[in-house]
Structure 1
């Protein structure tokens, strides 16, 4: 079994998290803030955008890996990986630009991908238990 979707997931989402981390560092240098947010809204937004990405990307990565182990179809994996990755790009952009409606849509798509992935795992597990 090849793990193309997991590899693509890790590559794309690690890049997103890294770019968000670089944005935090850029803001720290720009505003001369070594710890915390220094009371700067831009710094707070950068920190939260990065933190939120880490929170969701890590857990969903485990879901994608488990789906690969459960031999989920490439169609299911592709749809979930692409939807989740697009949602994280949308969410990062919305956090950094204060686009609230985009953030709501991004959060909804993120949660949808996460819930569907988890449900797919439960169905796969039940199939293994009762096969």
Structure 2
């Protein structure tokens, strides 16, 4: 049974929802129904949402598998915390104008660390 991963999946889900609402807001503001209409703010909002959609689901799945395989609780918390803080830092840094490059980069480093460590832990626990 998963006891730890859902604690982190829920706020990441809420972050994705907020990023999605921002895309909708930008579509209304710029009257763009399909595509990006060449609107920089809409393109930025779409990429922030897409970036979250590209990294969060796979990493959460790997963390959940590590938890189900009996990974230590502290390690699952660490992996999920890296992902959560990485996604929050990236989204916040990316959304600002001008962007906060340090937060954007830090967010990606944290996310990549979670993805790498979760992948390796799944392999190690499976063997």
Describe the SS at the equivalent of 2:4: helix
TM-score by length of 2: 0.93
Deviation at 1:4, TM superposition (A): 2.1
| CA-to-aligned-CA distance 1:62-84 (integer Å, 9 cap, x gap) | 10111121111110000111111
Q: Which has the larger radius of gyration?
A: 1
- Contact 2:60/2:80 (CA < 8 Å) preserved in 1? no
Q: Which runs of 4+ in 1 moved over 4 A?
A: none
TM-score by length of 1: 0.91
Aligned residue for 2:121?
Answer: 120
Aligned residue for 1:68?
Answer: 67
Which residues of structure 1 form unaligned runs of 5+?
127-131
Which residues of structure 2 form unaligned runs of 5+?
none
Indicate whether 1:108 and 2:109 are aligned: yes
Indicate whether 1:79 and 2:78 are aligned: yes
Indicate whether 1:7 and 2:6 are aligned: yes
Aligned residue for 1:129?
Answer: none
In the aligned structure 1, how far is the partner of 2:23 from the partner of 2:61?
25
